[in-house]
Every structure is written in C-alpha cells, then in structure tokens.
Structure 1
Amino acid sequence: MLTARFHPAIAELPAATWDALRANANPFVSHAFLHRLERTGCIRPDWGWQAHHLGLYEDDRLVAAAPLYLKGNSHGEFVFDWSWAGAWERAGGDYYPKLLNAVPYSPVPGPRLLAGRDARAPHLRQALAEAMRAETERLGLSSVHANFLEDAELDAFGGDWLSRSDVQFHWHNHGYRGFDDFLATLKAKKRKNIRHERAQVQASSLDIRMRDGASLDKDAWRQIHALYAGTFDAKGNHAALTRGFFEALGDLGDAVQVACAMDGERIEAMALFLQSDTALYGRYWGARVEVPGLHFELCYYRGIEHAIARGLECFEPGAQGEHKLARGFVPVRTHSRHYLAHPQFRRAVREALIHEAQAMDDYAAELATHAPYAGGCR
C-alpha cells in the first residue's frame, strides 16, 4: 500500500534514502544540491518557487520520491509555456499556481521520478506520476509539468499527459586520448576555427585553470558569483542564485568544477560546471574582460579537455545554442510531459503540440545535415 505525502522542504526527507532512489548520480537531483538551493534563499514564494516535494511511502518507509514545486510563474524552467498561460488566463482561468516536477534553474536532463533501480521501478514511477496528477486535481490547479525527463521515465506518463520535446547540443566521448585526438575527427574547417579560437586566448596574458569546488575560498566564490550575476544583469535578467548558494557549492567538492581565467589572484572570467561519475554539465559563465575566444575556451574547450582527462562519457553544456554544433556538440532530444486539468484546454494544446512536434522533427533533421564530424554525427 503506497501513501503519497507532500513536503514543504526537502530537509523533511532522508538524504541517504533520497539519493539511493536516483537512477544515476546526476548531481542536480542530489539531496545536497536541492537542499542548498532551499537553505540559501534561492527557492522563495516571492520568486515563484515553493517546495512541495513528493514522497511515496510503504509502511512509513520512503520508496520513491520526486522534486516538486508549486510555481507562481514560469521563470527558471526552460520549457516554455508562456503561451499556454496567456491563453488560459484570456479565457478567464488562473494558470498559476501550477505544479512542476523539475530542478530549479537547471535545464539538465536527468532523473525526475526517483524510484530506485530494481524491478519495481517502472511501477513506482507510474505511481509518482499519478500522485502528481491527483494532487493537481485536489488543489484545483491548472496543470502539472515534468521537465527534462530521462528516456526510461517517459512510459510513466500515459493517458492524458501531453508530450513535448526540444533539442540540446551534447558532446560525446569516443575514447579520445586527448583534445588533439578529438580535433582529428572534425571536418578540416571546424578544426582550423577551433585552433584559431584557442590561439587567441593563449596569446592573452590570462592564466586558465580548472579548479574543483573545495579548492576555492570564500573570496573566490564571491568573485565567481559576481561574474555570474553580471552576466544576468547585462541581459536584463534576474540572477536567482544567491552568493550563499555559490559558497555552499564548495561543500560538494569534486562534483563542482570551475574554469577560471586569472590575472594574478583576480578571476577575470569563469565557467562553472557540475559533474557526475559519467558526465560533465556546463552551467554558468561570466567575464569582466573581453578577450576573443574566451567564452568558447572556458565554456566548451576546457570542458571537453576535462571530460577526456576524467574519462567522462559526455559533456552537456546547457540549453540552446546552435553555435555549439561547430564545436563538436551534436543535437540530442530532450523530453517533457504535461497534464492540463481542463479537458477542452488539454485538447486544444494537444492539437498545437502536433504541429510543434513536426516543426521540431524538421529542425532536428536540418541540424543533422550540419554535423561537424568528418564522418557525420557522432
């Protein structure tokens, strides 16, 4: 007998059990990462985030879980439903709050339905999806959304759940011995452009270093956060992650990596990464100097070098960016599922998604014709 309970803080759920339920070691759904978001002021109702984490219990024992939030807006999600919200509100409904099964501010595919790895996992994932749908109905909400799902989780969302997909650009490690070994697989023009970009950075006076989180002191994290916030400010966006959160990342040790461009002890530019035992994830960038090629060096090439050196299988540098294709990253589909409570609204959105899906298929097919590798997509 499974019992669903909802928690206003992840601290109410046992960390060791939560982490053991992950299908893999994706750091973004670790208890430590999510707890740091909450305790450092990044998850706030006035910013549209309120924790409502789901636990499934069997005789008071946690057997499955899902990171879940009540959302008062659609900021920080990266699966855009602004048009749905506008249509529903024009019809006289309240789109917000809604439920969201996702990692805040992180467009990173990974486990969303934490159900372990044994034979019961498919059944438990279905139970989690049904519990989220039932909670949407119980609270009288417009919808529930599950973003950046893993392929193994998709079957848990059947019936009235709507499907969407998008494209990201990921790099895959094919057993490269070093960066030059990777370069040798690219088309000649792509290889030449990358070497030119890296040479521009090498000609600068900056000292480029990859640092792990534990090696950075409080002042370094202050500088890194300032660079992150400056990037958001320059684009007129809100930097939702606090300085306290950045400082707390240092506690995650080797799971956090920062590519730093140094001028003496001053960090002039940085790119922040998280990593698991199999993958590197690019997250944030910031710079106070303009050096040709520096963004590509820190955000992409240093990440590729790091992944090769550590024997990581893939490198996911973040959302969007067709320019990544020319630098060795290839298109990969991402997936989300959506339940809209009102039947007529759901039917209308389903029809729109049919056309969106065809356009996305055409886009992915077009991208495949521009593969940067000499032998096609890798």
Structure 2
Amino acid sequence: MRLKLHERLDEIPATAWDGLHDGANPFLAHAFLAGLERHGCLRPAWGWTPRHATLWRDGELVAAAPAYLKANSHGEFVFDHAWANAYARAGLDYFPKWLVAVPYTPVTGPRLLARDENDRAALLVAMRGQADRDGLSSLHVNFHAAVEDAAFGEGWLAREDVQFHWHNRGWPDFEAFLTDLQPKKRKNLRQEREKVRRAGYRYRVVHGDEAGDTDLEAMYYFYCRTFADYGNHPALSLEFFRHLATAMPRQLVLVLAERAGEVAAGALCLRGSDTLYGRYWGASENAPGLHFETCYHQGIEYCLREKLAVFEPGAQGVHKIARGFLPVATRSHHHVAEPRFATALAEWCAQERLAVARHRASLLGHHPYRELPADPCPAR
C-alpha cells in the first residue's frame, strides 16, 4: 500500500477515479471535481488548496478521497468555528486543516472511494497518519454516506446535523402527492402554486444538453445575484456552469421560470441515479411563492416524472417541512490531533448529537402528511 497526495485532480486518471464509485452521486464524478479546479472555483486565497489522497497497491488505484487543505471554514456547512476559536485562545494553530468533502456542497454521498471496506479503512489510517506527520491540527470527513461509518475506528469524533429531504412514495403525479398531505397543508400548497401561475410565470425544465448559452448565462446571473443579496462572494464561475452542461449534460438540470418572454428566475440542480439535488437559485424579480415553486414544487414534479426516489434541496430551511420535506440526519467524522482538545470535544460532540436527535424528533412531529411510513427518512 502506498499513499500519494495530489495537488490537482487531473493528476489522477478519470477512469481510475470513477472506477472507485458507482456514479450514482454526480458530485463525486471526476468531471465535477476537476471542473471546479480547472475553472477557477477553488483558490488558496479563498481557503481551498487541493490535496487529494490516493491509495495504490501494486500500481493499481484501490482507494481515493477528494481532499483539501483549508485555511478557513468557509464553504463546508459543518461548522467548527468554535473549535478554531478555542485553538486560537490556547495559542495553537487550527489552520491549515485537512478536509475530505465536496467543496461548497452539503450533499450526503461517498467520501472514501474504495474497492472494498478494507481498502476504505486503510485509506483512512494512511490519511490520519499523514495528517499527524505533517503537524496538521485535524482531519475531517464531511457529509459521508452511512455505509462509510464502519471505516471510522477509535479516536474519531462523530457529529450529526439535520437536512430536509423529500422521499417519493410512488405517487403518479403532484396531485396524488397532495392528496397524502393534511387538508390544510394541501390547500396552502395549491394556493401558493396558483398565485405563481396567475402572476404569469411558466416553467421550462432543461438538461445541460438542452440548455442554450443564454439559459446558462441567466442561471449564472441569478446565482451571483443571490450571493450578492447576502453579501457573499460567488465562488463558481460561468465557465464552470458551461463545463457542467457539456461534461455532465444529462445530470445538469435547470428549472427556469419565464414571464412575458423573459427568464425571471431559475434553480440549478444536479441529477444522480435516484436523487435530484437542488443547489442554487436566484431571481431578477420578487413574487409571492416564486421561490418555493422554482426550488421545491418544480423539483418534486421532476422527481415524479422521472421516477426519482429522493429530492435533496440543500441545507437548512424549516419552511421545507410544510412542502413535504422531512428532517434527515447527516453525518461527519473528525480526527483532532491534540489529545486535550480531542477529549474535551468528544463530550461536546456527544451532547450535540443528543440535541440534534431531539431537534429532529421535534421537527418530525410537525410533518405535513396524513400518515408517516414506519421509516420516513431512510439513512443515506
């Protein structure tokens, strides 16, 4: 076994990388991750320095992880600002840290790509040893799949959080989905959708190979405008949007709201084998219900048409519950090198997990359905 580190994903053959996962999650594709690097979306000045890990046996790639040296906690969605502050107060350096994740993307999926469980565990052991030899404060694996839990042995800190996902119960159309909601919730959603229709908005849903450059430019404008509205810098580039349309043509999905012949709002999604992932949205005008229709209702309709099992619309948002999304636990694991901090944080993480579990149970109590199945939110 030999661990190798890479400053660019393009140093790793795409066929070898993609041979380590089943292709179900588009964010793990070599085309997606390498595209971020090629098109100016990851920069050391923004806190992202690629440092991908690969494990080789007899010249063959057997395991790999998308990994980055981080100089801040921006774009991770597993918040460790308090940890960084505690390190600073103790006179220690928390940054750089080593992060296994998909940049800017709080989507659950594989993070430790491997031929089998033994190779996955070996990759983690090798990466942890490398982090310690390099004097890094910590190694983090964010939003990993439930099947990867077993790879984390003693000394790893487990954290959980909550997102809101929609699960398809086999409804033939949106109206059938509505019939399974409580009467008041059903009425509210119908009224919400009707307001958007009466305002003159009509929707066009296109894949990457169906989208014109004007569609991509409009979506990029909406994306930038949303970030500007919140005082944030947009990390993705128009060139990256164009890259997705050509490199992942059937996985890129644009939901475009048009009125009076103009595109007025849009949502950018990526499609996996059984899941639709909502990522970015924006609009050039405001209207009641426009955000909910563009980001949620149209996505549900797409999943029903395409017979997709799950719709993950992004992080946060208790308002999603009223529209049929239910609270799902997400997971991450963390290795903290300094023993004193690791001991203290272990108790902190345990308390956090209890609080998250209570919060999720409370949220489930406000579900909009007439009846919940026995397992309303299967682990991902």
**Contact 1:224/1:267 (<8 A) preserved:** no
Misfit runs of 4+, over 6 Å: none
Distance 1:193 1:211 in 2: 28
For residue 140 of structure 1, what is the amino acid of its counterpart? G
Distance 1:3 1:264 in 2: 60
Question: In structure 2, which of residues 206, 214, 217 is the aligned counterpart of residue 211 of structure 1?
Answer: 206
Whether 1:146 and 2:141 are equivalent positions in the alignment is yes
For residue 237 of structure 2, what is the amino acid of its counterpart? T
2:132 equivalent in structure 1: 137
1:266 equivalent in structure 2: 262
Question: In structure 1, which of residues 318, 328, 331 is the aligned counterpart of residue 324 of structure 2?
Answer: 328
Residue 254 of structure 1 aligns to a residue in which SS? Answer: coil
Distance 1:15 1:312 in 2: 27
**Contact 2:48/2:68 (<8 A) preserved:** yes
2:33 equivalent in structure 1: 34
Residue 180 of structure 2 aligns to a residue in which SS? Answer: coil
Whether 1:287 and 2:286 are equivalent positions in the alignment is no
2:219 equivalent in structure 1: 224
Distance 1:36 1:280 in 2: 20
**Contact 1:211/1:258 (<8 A) preserved:** yes
TM-score (norm 1): 0.97
User: Which structure 1 residue ranges, 5 or more long, are not aligned?
Assistant: none
Distance 2:305 2:218 in 1: 27
Distance 2:182 2:202 in 1: 29
**Contact 1:269/1:285 (<8 A) preserved:** yes
Output aligned runs, 1:211-360, within 5 Å. Answer: 211-251=206-246, 252-263=248-259, 266-360=262-356
Question: In structure 1, which of residues 179, 184, 187 is the aligned counterpart of residue 179 of structure 2?
Answer: 184
Whether 1:62 and 2:61 are equivalent positions in the alignment is yes
Residue 211 of structure 1 aligns to a residue in which SS? Answer: strand
For residue 58 of structure 1, what is the amino acid of its counterpart? R
For residue 6 of structure 2, what is the amino acid of its counterpart? H
Distance 2:326 2:139 in 1: 30
Distance 2:335 2:261 in 1: 51
User: Which structure 2 residue ranges, 5 or more long, are not aligned?
Assistant: none
- How much does 1:149 deviate? 0.7
Distance 1:265 1:37 in 2: 32
For residue 51 of structure 2, what is the amino acid of its counterpart? H
For residue 166 of structure 2, what is the amino acid of its counterpart? W
**Contact 1:299/1:317 (<8 A) preserved:** yes
Distance 1:299 1:219 in 2: 20
**Cα offsets for 1:250-303 (capped at 9, x unmatched):** 111110101101235532100110001111000001001111101110100100
**Contact 1:23/1:114 (<8 A) preserved:** no
Percent identity between the aligned chains?
A: 48
Output aligned runs, 1:71-150, within 5 Å. Answer: 71-116=70-115, 121-150=116-145
Distance 1:309 1:147 in 2: 31
- How much does 1:376 deviate? 2.8
TM-score (norm 2): 0.96
Distance 1:375 1:194 in 2: 18
Distance 2:54 2:290 in 1: 44
**Contact 1:164/1:337 (<8 A) preserved:** yes
For structure 1, which segment, 14-23 or 282-291, has the greater mean C-alpha deviation from structure 2 after superposition? 14-23
Question: In structure 1, which of residues 158, 163, 167 is the aligned counterpart of residue 158 of structure 2?
Answer: 163
Gap change, CA 1:291 and 1:194, over 3 Å in 2? same
Distance 2:267 2:104 in 1: 16
**Cα offsets for 1:34-72 (capped at 9, x unmatched):** 011000000110110011111111111111111010111
Equivalent residues, number: 373
- How much does 1:207 deviate? 2.2
Residue 170 of structure 1 aligns to a residue in which SS? Answer: strand
Residue 347 of structure 1 aligns to a residue in which SS? Answer: helix
For residue 200 of structure 2, what is the amino acid of its counterpart? S
Residue 108 of structure 2 aligns to a residue in which SS? Answer: coil
1:19 equivalent in structure 2: 18
**Contact 1:67/1:112 (<8 A) preserved:** yes
For structure 1, which segment, 322-331 or 21-30, has the greater mean C-alpha deviation from structure 2 after superposition? 21-30
For residue 12 of structure 1, what is the amino acid of its counterpart? E
- How much does 1:23 deviate? 4.5
Residue 111 of structure 2 aligns to a residue in which SS? Answer: coil
